[in-house]
Chain A
C-alpha cells in the first residue's frame, strides 16, 4: 500500500513570496490533515478535511494560509505572503475516518529567508 505522498520535500523562499505544497493521501482515506511542525515543537494541526469539506480550520492563519481538497483526494496548502516565522516542516496525514489512525507523509521543509 502506497503511503502519503508530499511534494516538494524542500523549499526555500524569501519573505513575502508565495508557496504551495501538495499532498496525495493513502487511497480510500476520507480524512486529510495538514500540520505545521516548528523546530523543537510537536506538530500543530492547521486544517482537517473530511472528503472535500473542511472539518476544522480553527488554527489556520487564514489571512495568509489557504488549503483546498477540491475532489476529495489530493490537497494543496498555500502560504501567501510568507513570513519568517512560517519556516517549519509541513506534514500531511490521512486516515480512513476521523479518529482513526493517522498516517503521515515525509513532510515539506520550508525555509523563509
Chain B
C-alpha cells in the first residue's frame, strides 16, 4: 500500500531558480512529515520536517508547506544550487511510529 506518493520521478531546474518537489499522502493519521535527501552510495540524510499543527516550516533555502485538507506537502528550494542535485524522499509517520517513504524524486540542478 502506497500511503505516501511522489508522482514525479524526476525534476530538472536551472541554477538560481526555484525547485518545487511534491508529495501526497492518503493516511489522515499521519502527524509528522519529513524530507530526506540522498546522494548516490549514501544513506538518506534528514533535510527538514513539519508537524501537522503547522502549515509551513523554513530552514534557510528550504521551505516545507503542508496542506492537510489536500493531504499534500511540498518542498521548495530557493535558490537552487548544483549541489542540491540528489534524490529527495518525502516521509510521514503517525504517533512517532512506522515511517512511510515515497518513491523519491530525482532533482537535477543545471549550472
Interface residues in chain A, defined as those with a beta carbon under 8 Å from any beta carbon in chain B: 4, 33, 40-45, 48, 55-56, 58, 91, 93, 97-99, 101-107
Contact = CB atoms under 8 A, between A and B. Distances in A.
Find the residue from A40, A58, A97, A104 having the highest chain B CB count within 10 A.
A104
Given A42-B89, A43-B89, A99-B96, A4 B101 contact: no
A42 B43 contact: no
A42 B101 contact: yes
Contacts of A102: 46, 99
Interface in B56-111: 89, 91, 93, 95-104
B50 interface: no
Interface of B: 4, 6, 32, 34, 36, 41-46, 49, 89, 91, 93, 95-104
- Chain A interface helix/strand/loop/mixed: loop
Contacts of A40: 103
A99 B32 contact: yes
Given A42-B6, A55-B97, A91-B43, 9 more contacts: A42-B102, A45-B99, A56-B97, A91-B44, A98-B97, A99-B97, A101-B49, A103-B45, A104-B45
A95 to B, nearest CB: 10
A107 B87 CA distance: 15
Contact of A107 (B43, B97, B100): B43
Find the residue from A40, A44, A97, A99 having the highest chain B CB count within 10 A.
A99
30 contacts: A4-B43, A40-B103, A41-B103, A42-B4, A42-B6, A42-B89, A42-B91, A42-B102, A42-B103, A43-B44, A43-B89, A45-B100, A48-B97, A48-B98, A56-B97, A91-B43, A93-B43, A97-B96, A98-B96, A98-B97, A99-B95, A101-B49, A102-B46, A103-B45, A103-B46, A104-B36, A104-B43, A104-B44, A104-B45, A106-B41
